[in-house]
């Protein structure tokens, strides 16, 4: 899984779910590393329509 690979590469072992941006697209916040408070959204291939990623980016920009 791409998200797990990126988190492992950055040595991030803990994230907290803050909310669900869209069904199946969680807004996560990194805790316990130099990346504390970094927020990200993950998306499984089967979730969200064509505009799901664009919508998630808008949500992240508004934080």
The predicted model scores a pTM of 0.84
Q: Residue 27 pairs with which residues in a beta bridge?
A: 19, 41
Q: What mean pLDDT, rounded, does the chain reach?
A: 93
Q: How many CA atoms lie within 13 A of 53 on its CB side?
A: 5
pLDDT of residue 32: 93
**Domain ranges, residue 20:** 2-62
CA distance 53 to 58: 9
Q: How many domains does the chain have?
A: 1
The pLDDT-based confidence of 1 (bands split at 50, 70, 90) is confident
Could you list the beta-strand ranges (E) of 1-63. 15-22, 25-30, 39-41
The mean per-residue pLDDT over the stretch 28-34 comes to: 95
- C-beta atoms surrounding 56 within 10 Å: 20
């Amino acid at each position: 899984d791409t998200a797990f690979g990126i988190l492992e590469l950055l040595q991030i072992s803990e994230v907290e779910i803050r909310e669900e941006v869209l069904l199946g697209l969680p807004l996560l916040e990194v805790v316990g590393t130099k990346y504390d408070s970094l927020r990200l959204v993950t998306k499984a291939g089967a979730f969200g329509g064509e505009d799901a990623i664009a919508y998630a980016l808008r949500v992240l920009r508004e934080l």
